[in-house]
Amino acid sequence: MKSRYTKLINIHWVMLAVLFLSLQGKAVASESAKLTPSLSGFCNKLEQRFKKYGWEKSDCESYSWLTYRNSVLGDPLTWTVFGDASDEDKPSFKQKDVSIIMCGVHGDEITPIKFCFDIMGYLRATYDDPKLKEEFANKIVIVAPLVNPDSFFKGRPTRVNARGVDVNRNFPTKDWTKDARKLWISHFRKDKRRNPGLTASSEPEVVFQMNLVKRYGPDKIISVHSPLTMLDYDGPNAVVDGFVDGTKAHELLIQMSKDASDYKIQNYPFFPGSLGNWAGKERDIPTYTLELPTSDPAKSAQYWKLFKTAIHKAIAHDLKDPKIVEKVAPEAKPEVSPDIKPSISTTEDPSSAEVAKTSPQLIN
């Protein structure tokens, strides 16, 4: 009798524990789904812009956003993660295939922002689809849809951020100190749209991009712009020891072009302070720049239809060298093969100071 009574008591406590954990889980889920006032304001402004451009709702408030820093004017610099990144701090994460996709680097390039939200909607459906879930089982996708919110939210969107700096010319590349401002003055005649700033990595939007790369150690980066109508590749041309296969990276470039009706591939030159220079050339991270044909918001749906398959295959495409046992995000190092990409520079001296050493600490 006593044994039976004890069993009933145990069952009772088990049921209470299950109920408690269930309620606790709901509370946590509710808390994580709640937006901060800053994120809520960001989403409200975004919805107003989507409405202005005749786009369907962004569903901004439905995504799980991460943010650690703000833009110059105080908007959160956000990204969201697709795939299981719960082991981010463990060795197992290094075996996963990580892609970073960024849009809205220049606020007057309107179509890329909608393009990133189309990617996000597609990825959310893909990771929930049993037929596709297996294909993406080992894939992590980081999407930052609006890198430069201040320039996009202006009454008349601009290329530069709120301090008048081009955040794709402000990365601490090795040639920045010697060449960035000289080139801006001599070649671009102080064009305000291409101002590299007074010092490298001075802008929060640049540090934000750098931190995403440092935090996740991506196997590839896709940066979406407009309106140059081309695909460009920056990165290794051969196998980089312990990291990626440059041959596979080039194969992906060709595949993306074919999947988008033979979209033009162009070997665009390096610029001091650009993402392609900093991540692709100096860190051997395959970096793809997709330039959409126009910034016309009315053509956004057309562009997503054109590149949907290419983006899917780019995410699914594994660039790792088969011999790799453990991936480590590489630091800047000498090129492993001759660099055939043209470079915009005021000097051919390769011994410029390592500006990255004096850049703000990466904390994200």
Q: According to the model, what pLDDT value does residue 132 have?
A: 82
Q: pTM for the whole thing?
A: 0.82
Band of pLDDT at residue 134, cut at 50, 70 and 90? confident
pLDDT tens, residue by residue, 5-51 = 444 444 444 444 434 333 333 322 223 346 899 999 999 999 999 99
Average pLDDT over residues 194-220: 97
163: left (phi over 0), alpha (psi -120 to 50) or beta: alpha
> How far lies 260's CA from each of 24, 102, 224, 296, 317, in Å?
47, 19, 14, 19, 16
Res. 360: pLDDT tops 90: no
Q: What is the mean pLDDT of residues 353-360?
A: 30
pLDDT at 27: 29
Phi, psi at residue 254, to the nearest 5°?
Answer: -65, -40
b/e sequence 315-340, b meaning 16+ C-beta within 10 Å: bbbebbbeebeebebbebeeeeeeee
Lowest mean pLDDT among 94-103, 230-239, 250-259, 315-324: 315-324
Integer angstrom CA distances of residue 359 from 39, 46, 160, 207, 290: 27, 31, 20, 9, 27
Q: How far apart are CA 132 and CA 305, in angstroms?
A: 19
Please give the mean pLDDT across all residues of the chain.
Answer: 83
Q: How confident is the model at residue 207 (pLDDT cuts 50, 70, 90)?
A: very high
Amino acid letter at 263? Y
- Omega before 227 within 30 of 0, i.e. cis: yes
- The SS3 call for residue 253 is helix
* pLDDT value at residue 352: 29
Q: The domain at 62-358 falls in which architecture? A: 3-Layer(aba) Sandwich (3.40)
pLDDT at 240 over 80: no
Give the residue extent of every domain in the chain.
62-358
Res 330: pLDDT: 44
Contact residues for 40 (Cβ-Cβ < 8 A; gap 6+) = 61
Least confident piece of the model among 14-28, 123-137, 234-248, 270-284 = 14-28
- Average pLDDT on 186-209 reads 96
